[in-house]
């Protein structure tokens, strides 16, 4: 509470001083007011990259948002099905999606319990994105779990002034189809706009039996006047995705890289078969109301109310499953009693997420301040049911064999301000209090009692400064603290200690007529960082462990070079060192201190480049390149866990036809991924176990790895008609 009072009094003092200043500032665009709570400006001392609707549209042919962000600095993307449709993931500075804070219109999208982001639940969401900002490192205060690698702030479509309709269709490799239709009424009576989108995506995937059947919608209505802007949104999706999160071993990778072991079983005749409904089936709907109010040229407020409803399951075939574990009694047949049976089970998650965000913003010639509060409440229900079994008695199919709950309350208060001391020098300060309570009851999916009632209170200060030397050069420095609680699966593993991060950033921005350059050094000092062990749980999620003290340090450079008026080159590079200090691990039955080791899934060299050529105003062609250096899938520097480096190139073309008799524009798009047909693996897992049976009296640690191969050369072509 003392931190909250400190934050409140600091903000109040600043605001009282500001009341005496004159209304001489530029008026804030009213539609963007709510973004002030989570975004930064171009001159802010925060390392960030921006993408606009136009940037996303060039390659938006059905692949998920992580794939569309692949060419930003320090970013690595993955795809379970191997072609960017279905389950996809993103890592930034080596931190996985559970450590990248994602907000949509300022509301957290990360799942409250798992802390992950599942883009498969919002297929084709890029078609309804106005802009996004990726802040690397701690960044500024944001709602939801702390940013331990990056934060991704997404703004959905703004209201359109003019009415339009749009139909987009694409087709590509692996029988990938995307159909999308959008509309807007434009401003009716200069005040009201209604718009929406419907999308459907289907793909067989590169991996066998990794098909996706995805549907989504987006609907919004907005009202605006000179000083008021109100927007109500409903958006969501339904995904049915065949499971492909099991990976394959090295031998299979070399002989049959598209093999998928999901749902494999042997029937009574000894024939190997696959369960045809080994799927993940989930619905998710989001409802938001956003109200922005301007009182004069200096003062404005925003408030957002959110409700998210999710419900779904994943289905799996289990051979020789224990009947009693699943709530079924043994069966006696011809005098013989069996306690096992093949069966099909579904593991369900139903959840509700309520959130309220309110912010107050002030801006004048010298000050730019935002003070806000955020509250959310999450309810999760986890349960399992058997829907088919060879043999069973004593229960009805569909009875729940386990039940578990998770309830999470979160409160955040923050105040941040930028003060322009001189034309050249500005200072930034940000204070945040975050209070979390997480409570569970019932059983886990392993039928283990899970009783958690933990509260955490985090105080996260941040500050920085920007200095403009001249019109070409600007320098900045920032410090940020982030703290975060364990997720549900961490509690299941007995981890209760929160993580803490101190992030130091030093940057230089250079702008001239033909060159734009952003360079930054960073040092991220972690205490009790939860690193991925490389091992998977039984639902394909990575298990984490506390590494003690660790750090990530690096250099990031991104540039935009105008070679000719029609030719731009946009390279970026990320060099880093990612280390665990004094890392201990069990080896051959003993706990061994391995000293300094590499953090899992953290390549030390990542580079990207885009060569964009625009020979005419209607035609653009791009060559996109990505290099990801070698990385370890575990934390013990085992060669078994090493994932090879890879270098990819994609080709993108867009041609716009205007002044058609039946439409305003027709945009023809083409994307050839992996044009040199590189055989590569972007993700994998690593495991160890102790073998004490081979040689009596000795314990030997056995290592193994699994891999997720990605598609070779493949293509997508599309047409977007706007009228």
Rounded mean pLDDT, 146-159:
91
336 pLDDT above the threshold of 90: no
The pLDDT tens digits for 533-552 are 999 888 888 999 999 899 99
The pLDDT tens digits for 683-711 are 999 998 887 665 666 778 889 999 999 99
| Helix (H) or strand (E) run with residue 682 in it | strand 681-691
Phi/psi of residue 98, nearest 5 degrees: -70, -15
Q: What percent of the chain has pLDDT over 70?
A: 95
Distances (CA, A) of 385 to 12, 275, 548: 54, 17, 39
Phi/psi of residue 187, nearest 5 degrees: -75, 120
In whole angstroms, give the CA distance from residue 488 to residue 490: 5
What is the overall mean pLDDT for the chain? 92
Q: Is the dihedral of CA 380, 114, 63, 37 positive or negative?
A: positive
DSSP secondary structure, 233-267, as one string: EEEEEEEEEE---S-B-HHHHHH-TT---TTEEE-
In whole angstroms, give the CA distance from residue 622 to residue 650: 8
332 pLDDT above the threshold of 90: no
Q: Are 102 and 65 in contact (CB under 8 A)?
A: no
Of 495, 408, 500, nearest to 453 (Cα)? 408
In whole angstroms, give the CA distance from residue 258 to residue 78: 16
What pTM was estimated for this model as a whole? Answer: 0.93
Q: What pLDDT, on a 0 to 100 scale, did the predictor assign at position 22?
A: 37
Q: What percent of the chain has pLDDT over 90?
A: 84
Q: What pLDDT, on a 0 to 100 scale, did the predictor assign at position 23?
A: 41
Rounded mean pLDDT, 626-655:
97
Q: What pLDDT, on a 0 to 100 scale, did the predictor assign at position 52?
A: 94
- Each domain of the chain, given as residue ranges in start order, spans 2-722
Domain 2-722 in this protein, CATH class: mainly beta
β-strands 150-156, 100-104 pairing = parallel
For residue 287, the number of C-alpha atoms closer than 13 Å in the C-beta half-sphere is 6
**Picking from 10-14, 32-36, 434-438, 679-683, which range would have the lowest pLDDT averaged per residue?**
10-14
Six token digits for residue 464: 């920085």
In whole angstroms, give the CA distance from residue 65 to residue 61: 11
Q: Are 92 and 74 in contact (CB under 8 A)?
A: yes
Q: What pLDDT, on a 0 to 100 scale, did the predictor assign at position 692?
A: 67
The pLDDT tens digits for 424-435 are 999 999 999 999
The pLDDT tens digits for 71-85 are 999 999 999 999 999
Distances (CA, A) of 435 to 15, 97, 146, 317, 355: 25, 22, 12, 41, 14
For residue 107, the number of C-alpha atoms closer than 13 Å in the C-beta half-sphere is 23
Rounded mean pLDDT, 178-192:
96
5 vs 148, higher pLDDT = 148
Q: Are 15 and 298 in contact (CB under 8 A)?
A: no
28 pLDDT above the threshold of 70: no
| Helix (H) or strand (E) run with residue 54 in it | helix 53-57
510 pLDDT above the threshold of 90: yes
Q: What pLDDT, on a 0 to 100 scale, did the predictor assign at position 252?
A: 97
Question: CA triplet 367, 373, 376: central angle to 5 degrees?
Answer: 150
DSSP secondary structure, 596-621, as one string: SEEPTT--SEEEEEEEEEEEETTEEE
Distances (CA, A) of 579 to 531, 546, 547, 552, 646: 11, 13, 10, 7, 22
At residue 7 the predicted structure's pLDDT band, cuts being 50, 70 and 90, is: very low
Q: What pLDDT, on a 0 to 100 scale, did the predictor assign at position 498?
A: 95
């Amino acid at each position: 509470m003392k931190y909250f009072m400190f934050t409140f009094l600091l903000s109040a003092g600043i605001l009282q001083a500001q009341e005496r200043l004159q209304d001489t500032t530029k008026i804030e665009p009213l539609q963007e007011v709510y973004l002030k709570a989570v975004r930064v400006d171009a001159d802010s001392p925060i390392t960030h990259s921006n993408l606009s609707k136009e940037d996303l549209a060039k390659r938006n042919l059905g692949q998920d948002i992580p794939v569309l962000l692949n060419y930003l600095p320090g970013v690595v993307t993955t795809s379970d099905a191997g072609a960017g449709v279905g389950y996809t993931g993103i890592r930034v500075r080596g931190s996985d999606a559970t450590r990248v804070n994602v907000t949509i219109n300022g509301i957290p999208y990360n799942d409250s319990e798992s802390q992950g982001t599942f883009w498969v639940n919002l297929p084709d969401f890029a078609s309804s994105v106005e802009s996004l900002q990726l802040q690397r490192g701690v960044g500024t205060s944001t709602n939801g779990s702390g940013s331990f690698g990056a934060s991704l702030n997404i703004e959905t479509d703004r209201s359109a002034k003019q009415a339009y309709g749009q139909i987009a269709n694409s087709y590509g490799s692996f029988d990938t189809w995307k159909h999308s239709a959008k509309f807007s009424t434009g401003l009716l009576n200069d005040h009201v706009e209604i718009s929406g989108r419907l999308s459907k995506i289907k793909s067989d995937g590169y991996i066998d039996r990794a098909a996706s059947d995805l549907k989504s919608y987006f609907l919004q209505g907005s009202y605006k006047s000179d000083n008021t802007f109100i927007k109500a949104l409903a958006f969501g999706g339904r995904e049915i995705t065949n499971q492909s999160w099991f990976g394959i071993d090295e031998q299979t990778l070399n002989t049959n890289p598209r093999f998928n072991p999901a749902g494999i079983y042997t029937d009574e005749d000894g024939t190997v078969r696959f369960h045809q409904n080994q799927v993940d089936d989930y619905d998710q709907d989001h409802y938001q109301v956003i109200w922005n109010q301007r009182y004069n040229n200096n003062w404005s407020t925003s408030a957002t109310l959110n409700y998210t409803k999710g419900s779904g399951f994943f289905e799996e075939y289990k051979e020789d499953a224990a009947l009693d574990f699943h709530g079924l009694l043994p069966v006696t047949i011809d005098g013989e009693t069996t306690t096992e049976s093949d069966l099909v089970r579904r593991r369900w998650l139903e959840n509700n997420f309520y959130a309220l965000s309110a912010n107050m913003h002030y801006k004048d010639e010298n000050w730019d301040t935002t003070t806000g509060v955020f509250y959310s409440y999450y309810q999760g229900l986890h349960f399992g049911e058997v829907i088919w079994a060879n043999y069973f008695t004593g229960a009805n199919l569909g009875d729940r064999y386990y039940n578990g709950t998770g309830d999470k309350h979160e409160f955040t208060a923050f105040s941040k301000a930028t003060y322009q001391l001189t034309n050249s020098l500005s200072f930034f300060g940000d204070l945040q209090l975050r209070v979390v309570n997480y409570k569970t009851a019932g059983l886990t999916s392993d039928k283990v009692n899970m009783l958690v009632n933990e509260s955490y209170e985090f105080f996260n200060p941040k500050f920085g400064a920007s200095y403009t030397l001249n019109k070409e050069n600007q320098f900045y420095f920032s410090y940020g603290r982030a703290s975060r609680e364990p997720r549900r699966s961490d509690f299941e593993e007995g981890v209760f200690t929160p993580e803490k991060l101190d992030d130091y950033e030093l940057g230089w921005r250079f702008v001239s007529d033909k060159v734009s350059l952003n360079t930054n050094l960073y040092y991220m000092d972690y205490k009790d960082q939860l690193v991925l062990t490389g091992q998977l749980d039984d639902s394909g999620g990575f298990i984490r462990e506390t590494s003690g003290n660790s750090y990530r340090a690096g250099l990031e450079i991104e540039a935009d070079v105008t070679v000719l008026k029609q030719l731009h080159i946009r390279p970026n590079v990320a060099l880093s060192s990612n280390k665990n200090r004094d890392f201990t691990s069990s080896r051959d039955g003993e706990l061994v201190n391995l000293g300094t080791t590499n953090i899992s899934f953290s390549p030390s060299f990542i580079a990207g480049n885009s060569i964009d050529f625009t020979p005419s105003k209607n035609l653009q062609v791009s060559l996109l390149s990505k290099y990801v250096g070698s990385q370890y899938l575990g934390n013990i520097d085992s060669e078994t866990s090493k994932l090879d480096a890879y270098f990819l190139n994609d080709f993108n073309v867009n041609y716009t036809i205007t002044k058609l008799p039946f439409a305003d524009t027709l945009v023809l798009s083409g994307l050839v991924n992996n044009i040199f047909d590189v055989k590569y693996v972007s993700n994998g897992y690593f495991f160890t176990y102790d073998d004490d049976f081979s040689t009596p009296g000795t314990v030997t640690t056995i290592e193994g790895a699994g891999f997720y191969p990605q598609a070779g050369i493949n293509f997508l072509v599309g047409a977007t008609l706007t009228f």
